[in-house]
Amino acid sequence: MPRHVAIIMDGNGRWAKSQGKIRPFGHKAGLKSVRRAVNFAAKQGLKALTLYAFSSENWHRPTDEVSALMKLFMRALDKEVKSLHKNKVCLHIIGDISRFDSCLRDRIKNVEVLTKNNNGLQLNIAANYGGRWDIMQSMRYLAQQVQQGILQPNDLDEKLINRYMSTQSSVDLVIRTGGEYRMSNFLLWQIAYAELYFTDVLWPDFDENIFKKALDEFAQRERRFGRVSFLDKII
Ligand code: FPP
């Protein structure tokens, strides 16, 4: 069983189009899949689930779509917080939230404070997130420490860089829906040894069966972390 699963939720727009509806309709349907995925992940005993909700590049979408997405986040935070807290989920928003309006930022803070000591599923929602941004902000912090003489350049190692990443746990499995085969600047540091699972299913159609299929396939994979195969060692 993977400990940390990360999902690139793609295909909301195409799903909406296939229903003859506008794109925000797809995001709304996508929220139902988020709920399903979170419940399933908690039930399966995963330690962490990271969902790519809004990338740094998504600001380039039409203004109407961006504002519909923001409203959806706000409503989701308000509506879901009670049941997340009840289910011991620890919620963390990762990404550069400085561009969000103060109302949304306050809500994010409140939810994070409320759920911070929960020991169930660690749920990371990546919002205005970019993998390169994540590495940059850790490096910037460490550069400041060096400048202030608190650290020496030689003190910087992978462990220290990892400590200041927005999420520290390595990803075991990445799932991408929507039929594309790329990482789209998602968790670049944390996926170094992740297994990848791609499906053509559009995010609003993602359900427990597909999630289970991805977990089953993960269980079949041999993870070598750069070492030789277990079977080769026997032979
Ligand atoms: C990608 O589909 C999806 C997004 C950019 C937004 C994801 C948002 C949600 C699933 C809803 C809210 C989530 C939370 C966590 C509150 P796309 O629009 O790129 O689809 P397309 O590739 O078919 O155009």
Q: 137-158: per-residue pLDDT in tens?
A: 999 999 999 999 999 999 999 9
Q: Is residue 148 part of a domain?
A: no
Whether the predicted pLDDT of 235 surpasses 70: no
Q: Give the per-residue pLDDT at 104.
A: 87
Average pLDDT over the chain, rounded to whole?
Answer: 93
DSSP run (H or E) holding 138: helix 131-147
* Domain span at 105: 4-130+170-224
pLDDT of residue 131: 96
Residue 230 above 80 pLDDT? no
**Closest by Cα among 18, 19, 15, 39 to 27:** 15
Best residue for ligand 1 mutational test, from 10, 15, 39, 52 (most atoms within 8 Å of Cβ): 10
Say if 67 falls within a structural domain. yes
**Domain count along the chain:** 1
DSSP states of 7-29:
EE---HHHHHHHTT--HHHHHHH
Is residue 82 included in any domain, yes or no?
yes
**What is the per-residue pLDDT for 147?**
98
Q: What is the pLDDT of residue 220?
A: 94
CATH number of the domain residue 122 falls in: 3.40.1180.10
CB-CB contact of 48 with 4 (8 Å): yes
Asked if residue 143 is part of any domain, the answer here is no
pLDDT of the residue at 234: 61
| Ligand 1 pocket check for 13: Cβ under 6 Å | yes
